[in-house]
Structure 1
Amino acid sequence: MSTISSERAPETTAPPRKPFYTNLGFQIVVGLVAGVVLGLIAVAIGPDGEERNWLAGLLYEVGGAYVSLLTLLVVPLVVTAVISSIARLREVTNAARLAVQTLIWFAITALASVIVGIGVGLISSPWLTAGVDAEAAAAPGRVGSWTAFLTGLIPNNIFGLGVRISGDAESGFAASPSFSVLQVLLISILFGIAAVKVGDKAAPFVGFMESALSVIQKVLWWIIRLAPIGTAALIGRAVATYGWSSLASLGTFVAALYIGLFIVWAVVYPAILKFHGLGVREFYRNVWPAISLGFVTRSSMGTMPVTEQVVERNVGVPRQYASFAVPLGATTKMDGCAAVFPALASIFVAQFYGIDLGLTHYLLIAFVAVLGSSATAGTTGATVMLTLTLSTLGLPLEGVGLLLAVEPIVDMGRTALNVTGQALVPAVVAKREGILDEATYSARPQFSA
């Protein structure tokens, strides 16, 4: 005769909640505040002759070293993540549909962003160019090209790596390594597809890539834990190096740009999230480490490893999709640099030179914003995008020089918006395709060691 035990199963207790000060997002906020304070102290100390004082020099070196550490992992992370993910692509039945949806939502969010930029430009146009000195006009060293996308797809070598030479004969030349993520992404996709075609013989290769990815992610986490220190150094360097003196003549433009960026960040993106039934507060909480890091580093590429981690581990996007969408977005998805900024800057340049813009011009601005970031993917950047927009509209390229004085100040906000959009689109597409882990999305961020 069987009996039923009356003993109760042991109750499971939730793990103790970690103190708030151990949260990475909180630590980054502390780093931001500390950076502003250190920057102001460096300004108060003043320059040491023609050189930076000791504090400004320290902030500059520490901040630069942290960005270099992040950038160091971009290529190995993209290669291992993309190859291992594509090799397991058979687990994702709608891979082609995911790619198409990603490109469509890149275009939709870019169009919404450029409309905001044009609207803010038209409203602020009576005050936009007040007090701007014409002597600052200068043609840029690099300009955008509609053929850059095609040339950017062709790798220079098997790793997509190169060397950038800077300097002159008098001061000496300096060589620094460079890479095109677009080329690295393309090479990785080709190797991943080849591994799928080879079949069982490629199993050791795929296993090695998956093991290497795990090791790289662990090293990445160690670097990310240094983010509060890097944040303090980078924001302090910005305050000490650039200050706010350049706002005297371009203050209206800077204010208008940040208003436009904020509207996209706080109105357009939340509306898209709400439309898809995703919590706004949860999204920004989940991706905050990447947003804040993008703001202080001014580099979508340097922030890309962090963006991919938060999209996968905090937002709940499957790795097979995140490892494709985030690197692609870091190369071609830039709502701040490629949509809001060129739209507002084009109106600024046209007004400064007394050129009237009509409906056709505004449609061209929107066209360049939607397609231009892809066209300049091989040489992406705000200045390159602005020159592409100005040349398409037939506006003087010398107008770029008028805005260079505030480039570092506005670039912080532009990059933060870029990174937000690069995390938003994978979340939206994953939700639409039914592959988003909504339990992870709604839970407290799991982005930890």
Structure 2
Amino acid sequence: MTQTKAHVPQASRNNPFTGFGAQVIYGLIIGVVLGLVGARMGEGNWLVTILSQIGSTYVTLLKLLIPPLVVTAVVTSIVQLRQVQGAARLAGNTLIWFAITATASVLVGISVGLLVDPGANSSVDPNTAKDVGYVGSWAAFLQSLLPTNILGLEVSAKLSDGAVSAAPNFNVLQLLVLSIAFGIAAMKVGKKAEPFIALNESILAVVQKVLWWIIRLAPIGTAGLLGKAVATYGFDALGSLGKFVFAIYIGLAIVLLVIYPIVLKVNGLPVVHFYKKIWPVTSLGFVSRSSMGTMPVTVRAVEKGLGVPRAYASFAVPLGATTKMDGCAAIYPAIAAIFVSSFYGIPLEFTDYLLIVFVSVIGSAATAGTTGATVMLTLTLSTLGLPLDGVGLLLAVEPIVDMGRTAVNVTGQALVPLIVAKRHGIADLATLASENTVYAPEDDAADSADTTDLPAANKATGTTQTPVGKTRREETEFEESWA
């Protein structure tokens, strides 16, 4: 049974001044203004405190739904993917495109690093290097794949002023591994697993409803996050590392505005429509500095705005949020490694640049569930044999460069699912190209449990672009592809 879409006035859906994307832009502008005002009021003022609380509360609300969203969405998507022939190939191509875009990004990073040479004649004082405290390693990555408990729950404790404080957190990579395992198991069990599958679908529907309520607060959260950033960091924080920050943002801009558009054009996809639909994701990633915190918004934008089927989007986006980081794992470590080698006078050979490419493409998953780019940089420097003290030198500008890195990360995490869905013929290109189909609250009323995973062009005929696995033989072939 197909639900009828709620009637939404045309002007309400298309007005560029009142839509969700416009509201986010208003939040950015208000955040900048309030941040400048807060900066002039001095340190520790009430305005900066309020902005910080608003921003951190919004990110906390988003992260709150990540565990149930990942588990239920991935389990449900694994089961639903049996409707698409060659689901294992779909997953494999996702990883391949992760690697392709990561390779292009790290090559851009190396090129910009060699051209700008941010470490040459730097006035940074080596004695100002901060303690890193954590180092990335291949062994730690392999260990992080193995869940220590069924919830993927970790607890970090720290001692401060004689008191011990503990904060629980979820290792999303472990949750992803567990969810994939349970999804495949439920599919192989068959009829007995139907109540389990139905429960996950029901929880997912409820989580998505609550999630949309939280996403609607994005303009307010954006104002708080950016306002706090402007008031806290400003331009004074650049200091002697201004050349390094400049190089990072040049690299990020090339990937975001040149590499990604080329990839879209090569695959026959509209560039302007992509960036228009994904703007809320990019802007929220910039101000929140968290791929995990942005992930719920990314999932919805990829599905509702880009026309990627829910069954695939719910699998690809969480995977990308843990392993697809063109900003943190490709551009940043490449330029930072060149900075460290130049600063300490240690020349890099051609094979060293090949190692940078290898670590960036293969090792990005080593940042999953950890401290992101800093861990990735320590992994890169240790592989090259460069001093890890160099990481401490760059921590002073970490918040500033992290904003741009995360914006590129989340944009790439939305790009790849669209590319793969298009190449497999399961993308709803009408949704992507349509001016009427926007990432807006009206879309929530139009959800349909029976048709949400089918391309819009085929809903009228009841067919799909790929064979639907209705026969036992086809279902068996799909199950065997995951075995």
Shorter-normalised TM-score: what interval? over 0.9
Matched positions, count: 432
Aligned-residue CA RMSD (Å)? 1.5
Q: Partner of 1:94 in structure 2?
A: 86
Q: For residue 81 of structure 1, what is the amino acid of its counterpart? A: A
* Aligned positions of 1:32-111 closer than 5 A: 32-47=28-43, 52-111=44-103
8 Å CA contact retained: 1:139, 1:397: no
Q: Aligned equivalents of 1:431 and 1:14: distance in 2?
A: 28
Q: For residue 30 of structure 2, what is the amino acid of its counterpart? A: A
* Aligned positions of 1:365-404 closer than 5 A: 365-379=356-370, 381-404=372-395
Q: CA deviation at 1:163?
A: 1.4
Q: Partner of 1:114 in structure 2?
A: 106
Q: CA deviation at 1:20?
A: 2.9
Q: Partner of 1:265 in structure 2?
A: 256
Q: Aligned equivalents of 1:171 and 1:295: distance in 2?
A: 36
* Aligned positions of 1:234-245 closer than 5 A: 234-245=225-236
8 Å CA contact retained: 1:298, 1:411: yes
Q: Write out per-residue CA displacement over residues 206-248 of structure 1, whole angstroms, 9 at most, x where no aligned residue.
A: 1221121111111111101100000000001111222221212
Q: Aligned equivalents of 2:209 and 2:120: distance in 1?
A: 47
Question: Would you identify which runs of 4 or more consecutive aligned residues in structure 1 move more than 6 Å?
Answer: none
Q: CA deviation at 1:377?
A: 3.0
8 Å CA contact retained: 2:322, 2:367: no
Q: For residue 322 of structure 1, what is the amino acid of its counterpart? A: A
Q: For residue 290 of structure 1, what is the amino acid of its counterpart? A: V
Is 1:143–2:103 an aligned residue pair?
no
Q: Write out per-residue CA displacement over residues 34-80 of structure 1, whole angstroms, 9 at most, x where no aligned residue.
A: 11111111111112xxxx11111111111110000000011111111
Q: Partner of 1:16 in structure 2?
A: 10
8 Å CA contact retained: 2:285, 2:406: yes
Question: Which of 387, 401, 411 is the matching residue for 1:410?
Answer: 401
Task: Identify if the C-alpha distance between structure 1 residues 129 and 425 changes in structure 2 by more than 3 Å, giving closer, same or farther.
Answer: farther
Q: CA deviation at 1:172?
A: 2.3
Q: CA deviation at 1:126?
A: 6.5
Q: Write out per-residue CA displacement over residues 392-436 of structure 1, whole angstroms, 9 at most, x where no aligned residue.
A: 110000001111111000000000000011011111111111111
Q: For residue 88 of structure 1, what is the amino acid of its counterpart? A: Q
Is 1:155–2:151 an aligned residue pair?
no
8 Å CA contact retained: 1:148, 1:376: no
Q: Write out per-residue CA displacement over residues 103-146 of structure 1, whole angstroms, 9 at most, x where no aligned residue.
A: 11111111100000010011111775522222223451111101
Q: For residue 85 of structure 1, what is the amino acid of its counterpart? A: S
The farther-off stretch of 130-139 and 342-351 is 130-139
Q: Aligned equivalents of 1:413 and 1:376: distance in 2?
A: 17
Question: TM-score with structure 1 length normalisation?
Answer: 0.93
8 Å CA contact retained: 1:148, 1:379: no
Q: Aligned equivalents of 2:33 and 2:215: distance in 1?
A: 22
Q: Partner of 2:216 in structure 1?
A: 225
Q: Partner of 1:189 in structure 2?
A: 180
8 Å CA contact retained: 2:119, 2:342: no
Q: Secondary structure at the match of 1:198?
A: helix
The farther-off stretch of 148-157 and 133-142 is 133-142
Task: Identify if the C-alpha distance between structure 1 residues 220 and 14 changes in structure 2 by more than 3 Å, giving closer, same or farther.
Answer: closer
Question: What percent of counterpart residues are identical?
Answer: 63
8 Å CA contact retained: 2:366, 2:376: no
Q: CA deviation at 1:200?
A: 1.8
Q: CA deviation at 1:171?
A: 5.2
Q: For residue 42 of structure 1, what is the amino acid of its counterpart? A: G
Q: Partner of 1:7 in structure 2?
A: none
Unaligned runs of 5+ in 2: 1-6, 442-483
Q: Partner of 2:446 in structure 1?
A: none
Q: Secondary structure at the match of 2:10?
A: coil
